[in-house]
Chains A and B, each alone.
Chain A
Amino acid sequence: MSGAGALIARVPYCAWLGVAARIEDGAVVLDLPFDAKLIGNPILPALHGGVAGSLLETAALMQILHEMGTAKMPRTVDMTIDYLRSARATTSHARAFLVRQGRRVVSARAEMWQDDAAKPVAQLRGHFLLG
C-alpha cells in the first residue's frame, strides 16, 4: 500500500465511504466503488452530491499532503463544486492539481469522473490552509 493509501485508510470517514488511494504519474488518484449507501437520488439512481464533494475535497487534501510532504491535514478555507453530470451507480475516481502553492495557503482544483476521464461528473476549486 502506498503512503497515500495507508494515510487514507486511517481517516475513518474515507474508510467508511470505501475510498482507496493510489499514485499515478505523481498524483494521488482516489477510487470509490459504488455502494447502495452512497445514493442520493433513488430514481436515476445517482450518487449523492455530498459523495462527489467528499471525494473531491479528499483528493485535494491528499494531493497537498503528497506534494508538500507534510503529515498535518490542511484545513479547507473555501471550495466551490460544479456538478457537471449525474454521478451514476458505478465506480468513481478523483484527482487534484495544485494550482498555486503559497507558504500558508494552497489553491487547488480537482476532478471526479467515472467511466470516461474526459467526461468529468464534478469539479472542485478551493483554498486550503497549511497546518
Chain B
Amino acid sequence: MTDQADFWREAMRKGMGQTAFLRALGGDLEAYEGGRGRIRLPFAPHLVGDPETGVIHGGVLTAMLDQVCGMAVGSALRKPAAIATLDLRIDYMKPAVPRVDIVVESECLKIAHEVAFARGIAFQTERDEPVAIATATFMLTPIAGAPA
C-alpha cells in the first residue's frame, strides 16, 4: 500500500465517519478497513417508527446499511473513486427489539472497473440473529486530480 493510498483511505474514513446524516442519527463508526465496516447505533427516541411498539423505523436500518456497505467498498478501493449507491436490497428477518443498540456490519464482495458489490447485516445482541440483511451495488467514478 502506498502512502498516497493511505492518505486517501484516511480522508475517506474521516469523510465517511462525518456524514451529516450518520452523525444526526447518532451512529458511531467502530471499524473501517480491508473491505469491511462496522457502525453501532445507540437506541434513541427519534429513531422510533412505530409509536405503539417503540420499534425503530425501517428507514434507519436502510440508512445504516447503505452507509456501512458503502464504507466496505470505500475501504477496499485501490484507486480513489466516488461511490454512489446504484441499488440496495433489504430483507427484514425479524423486528428490532426496542431500546437496544443496532450494529451493522458489511463486507465488500467485489470491486470491478465501474461497479462494486457489498453485503451487510444489521443485528442487536446476537450476530447470528440478524434483524435485516442487505445486498448493495455501487457505481464507482474515478476522482480526477486525487492522489492515485
Binding site for B on A (CB under 8 A): 10-14, 16-17, 36-43, 47-51, 53-55, 57-58, 72-73, 75-83, 86
Q: Which residues of A contact B24 (CB under 8 A)?
A: 37-38
Q: Quick one: CB contact mask for B20-56 with A, threshold 8 Å, 1 for yes?
A: 1111100000000000000000000111111110001
Instruction: Flag if A80 contacts B66 (CB, 8 Å).
Output: no
Instruction: Flag if A50 contacts B66 (CB, 8 Å).
Output: yes
Q: Does B89 contact A (CB under 8 A)?
A: yes
Instruction: Flag if A40 contacts B19 (CB, 8 Å).
Output: yes
User: Knowing that A17-B59, A38-B20, A48-B66 are A-B contacts, what are 19 other residue pairs whose CB atoms are under 8 Å apart, sorted by A's residue number?
Assistant: A11-B57, A12-B47, A13-B48, A13-B49, A13-B59, A14-B57, A16-B46, A36-B20, A39-B19, A40-B20, A40-B67, A49-B70, A51-B59, A54-B59, A55-B59, A75-B95, A81-B90, A82-B87, A83-B86
B23, B57, B91 — most chain A CB neighbours (10 Å): B57
Count of interface residues, chain B, beta-carbon cutoff 8 Å: 37
Q: Does B124 contact A (CB under 8 A)?
A: no
Q: How far is the CB of B24 from chain A (nearest CB, A)?
A: 4
Q: How far is the CB of A44 from chain B (nearest CB, A)?
A: 9
Q: Interface SS of chain A: helix, strand, loop or mixed?
A: mixed
Q: Which residues of A contact B56 (CB under 8 A)?
A: 13
Instruction: Flag if B57 contacts A39 (CB, 8 Å).
Output: no
Instruction: Flag if A80 contacts B63 (CB, 8 Å).
Output: no
B56, B60, B63 — most chain A CB neighbours (10 Å): B63
Q: How far is the CA of A48 from the CA of B46 in the complex (A)?
A: 17
Residue from B51, B84, B91, B95 within 8 A of A12 (CB atoms): B51
Q: Quick one: CB contact mask for B66-105 with A, threshold 8 Å, 1 for yes?
A: 1100100000000000101111111110010000000000
A12, A55, A58, A86 — most chain B CB neighbours (10 Å): A12
Instruction: Flag if A13 contacts B20 (CB, 8 Å).
Output: no
Q: How far is the CA of A79 from the CA of B59 in the complex (A)?
A: 11
Q: How far is the CB of B139 from chain A (nearest CB, A)?
A: 9
Q: Which residues of B contact A47 (CB under 8 A)?
A: 21
Q: How far is the CA of A16 from the CA of B60 in the complex (A)?
A: 12
User: Chain A: which residue is nearest B92 at the CB level?
Assistant: A76
Given contacts A13-B48, A50-B64, A57-B62, contact A39 B20 (CB under 8 A): yes
Given contacts A49-B66, A57-B58, contact A77 B92 (CB under 8 A): yes
